[in-house]
Structure 1
Amino acid sequence: MTDSYRSDIVRIQKLIQQIRSDIQKREQKINVNQPVGIIDADIRQGISKLEIEIELLKSLIGRQNRNQEILQKEGETRKNTLLELQNVAAELKQNFDKSLRSQKDQLFNDRSNGGKQYKDTETLQQMDKKQLHYNQKQLQKEQDEKLDVCLDQLDTLKWKGKIIWNTVDEQNRLLIQIGNDMDKTNKEMINVNGKLKKVLNSSSYCCLHLFIAFELVGLIMIILFA
């Protein structure tokens, strides 16, 4: 079985770099009062992909350790690497959530302060067309950002479904291969038993012992290399 550990690590590291880069771009947009709805969706999708990739890596390492596919020392090294990646993913998610909460609090304060100005009907009447048009554009921009987030979340769900389907398909393929190997071994056993019965009925004890030894060696080779 091919060891995909190295390629999985490279893919996860690229995801981490991309998420960090997106978070930096998000902070830059906030500093210049630019909308961040689209890049927020990219970050959410990246974090979701990262969590899935880490879970798949965890399953791979667990299977390799159970089946003794790697040396014990290498297994411990991979477990430590997995733990480091889990910590990095948790830190990225925590920082992003903290930034979102801070942004929401700031937006709430801005709207609260603005609301005090618009409670007075006379103040509303004094707003010129330019201000009304600007406010309308801001509301439309927020709605567009929310729609983009919904679409990106749908894409993420679709991507997760594809990952799950591929995993199930791979497990089915392995089960079919195991079944075929068992059928092959069973046929070989039936063949050996048939030959053994013939020998018991027609051969001397000396030939019988030699034949049994030969068949045992052949059976061991079949089990080892089937």
Structure 2
Amino acid sequence: MSDTYRTDIERIQRLIQQLRSDIQKREQKINANQPVGMIDGEIRGGISKLEREIELLKSLIERQNQNQEILQKEGETRKNKLLELQNVATELKQTFDKSLRSQQDQLFNNRSNGGKQYKDTETLQQMDNKQLYSNQKQLQKEQDQKLDVCIDQLDTLKAQGKNIGNTVDEQNRLLEQIDKDMDKTNKEMINVNGKLKKFLNSSSYCCLYLFIAFELVGLVMIILFV
């Protein structure tokens, strides 16, 4: 298997495992009479992401088969694997939808029995079954929209993080170059100091004063004419 195909399979299997875990946690929250709005949003987002990943995998397999990148037998194996993953995704979605319908039916039944098992708000208590169902659908739609916004924000943060990483790499490269230049300059300074010491040791004071005078004259000339 190619690295891309293997990576896609592993990513999809992790998504499936996470969805199964989330659905199980949701059932536990329902049994404990705890709110499930947050985990419902996570499950919907996970199902949407799983469907997108499977579509990308399908496109990859079709392209590989068309370009004859893999043997025919391997192509059939991958198609069967794709079908298996599609069935699992469908099963997970149906399980989640069934759980939602069961929860709604229970809410409707409790509403018709006086709402003793749930602490509904005054507005919900005044709704009939049809209105409650419409309200639930609206809440789901709002959760999906908020989840889409979160996904977009995560993509933006990911891109920003990548840009920051590139900037840090470039700065590190520049710092390394500066370190190299500093080392080179230090070596040159050591070399100049050594030559100057030799000059001082081998020259008389008269030559030294003459050298300083020439330097001063040169400095004055530079100041006057530059």
**Aligned partners of 1:43, 1:135: CA distance in 2, in Å?**
24
Structure 2, unpaired ranges of 5+: 125-134, 157-226
Indicate conservation of the 8 Å contact 2:41/2:144, yes or no. yes
Alignment partner, residue 65 of structure 1: 65
Percent same amino acid at aligned positions? 70
Bigger radius of gyration: 2
- Where 1:42 maps in the other structure, the secondary structure is helix
TM-score under structure 2 length normalisation: 0.55
Indicate conservation of the 8 Å contact 1:37/1:149, yes or no. no
**Runs of 4+ with >3 A deviation:** 134-139, 145-150, 153-156
Alignment length (residue pairs): 140
Q: Deviations over 1:82-138 (max 9, x none)?
A: 0000000000001110110010011011112227x9xxxxxxxxxxxxxxxx65599
Alignment partner, residue 211 of structure 1: none
1:36-47 alignment runs, 5 A limit: 36-47=36-47
Structure 1, unpaired ranges of 5+: 118-133, 163-226
**Aligned partners of 2:91, 2:121: CA distance in 1, in Å?**
37
Indicate conservation of the 8 Å contact 1:38/1:149, yes or no. no
Deviation at residue 37 of structure 1 after TM alignment:
0.5
TM-score under structure 1 length normalisation: 0.55
Are 1:92 and 2:92 counterparts?
A: yes
Indicate conservation of the 8 Å contact 2:12/2:54, yes or no. yes
**Aligned partners of 1:20, 1:138: CA distance in 2, in Å?**
34
- Where 2:33 maps in the other structure, the secondary structure is coil
If asked which structure has higher relative contact order (CA below 8 Å, sep 6+), I would say 1
**Superposition CA RMSD, Å:** 3.1
**Aligned partners of 1:59, 1:37: CA distance in 2, in Å?**
34
Alignment partner, residue 220 of structure 2: none
Alpha carbons of structure 1 residues 16 and 137: separation in structure 2 relative to 1, 3 Å: farther
Alignment partner, residue 9 of structure 1: 9
Deviation at residue 155 of structure 1 after TM alignment:
3.3
